[in-house]
Amino acid sequence: MATWTYMGFQDSASPLMEQLIFFHDHIMLILILIITFVGYLLFSLFFNILIHRYMLENQTIEVIWTTIPAIILIFIALPSLRLLYLLDEVNYPSITLKTIGHQWYWSYEYSDFMHLEFDSYMMPLNEINYSTFRLLDVDNRTIIPMNTQIRVLISAADVIHSWTIPSLGIKADAVPGRLNQVSFLINRPGLFLGQCSEICGANHSFMPIMIESISINSFLNWVSSSIEH
pLDDT one-digit tens code per residue, 147-156: 889 999 999 9
5-9 contact pairs (CB < 8 A, 24+) = 9/166
Query: Are 135 and 160 within one domain?
Result: yes
Query: Are 82 and 104 within one domain?
Result: no
CA separation for the pair 86, 69 (Å, rounded) = 26
Asked if residue 213 lies in contact with residue 13, where contact means CB atoms within 8 angstroms, the answer is: yes
Query: Are 157 and 126 within one domain?
Result: yes
Tell me the pLDDT band of 27, cut-offs 50, 70 and 90: very high
Which of 82, 113, 78 has the alpha carbon at shortest distance from 98? 113
Q: What does the pLDDT read at residue 200?
A: 86
Q: What does the pLDDT read at residue 53?
A: 66
5 in any annotated domain: no
Query: Are 36 and 113 within one domain?
Result: no
Query: Are 174 and 155 within one domain?
Result: yes
CATH classification at residue 113: 2.60.40.420
Query: What mean pLDDT is predicted for residues 184-210?
Result: 89
Is pLDDT above 90 for 106? yes
Outline where DSSP puts E strands in 41-159.
95-102, 105-110, 117-120, 142-145, 149-156
Tell me the pLDDT band of 113, cut-offs 50, 70 and 90: confident
- Give the rounded distance of the alpha carbon of 157 from its chain centre: 23
Query: Are 110 and 202 within one domain?
Result: yes
pTM for the predicted model, two decimal places: 0.80
Query: Are 108 and 72 within one domain?
Result: no
Q: Domain range for residue 71?
A: 15-50+57-88
Query: Are 40 and 126 within one domain?
Result: no
Query: Are 72 and 121 within one domain?
Result: no
Query: What mean pLDDT is predicted for residues 61-85?
Result: 89
- Residue type, position 141, single letter: R
Q: Which residues contact 149 (CB under 8 A, 6 or more apart)?
A: 91, 92, 93, 94, 95, 183, 184, 185
Query: What mean pLDDT is predicted for residues 203-223?
Result: 89
Is pLDDT above 70 for 180? yes
Query: What mean pLDDT is predicted for residues 170-195?
Result: 90
Q: Any idea what DSSP says for residue 122?
A: B
Terminal alpha carbon distance of the chain: 32
182 in any annotated domain: yes
178 in any annotated domain: yes
Query: Are 126 and 25 within one domain?
Result: no
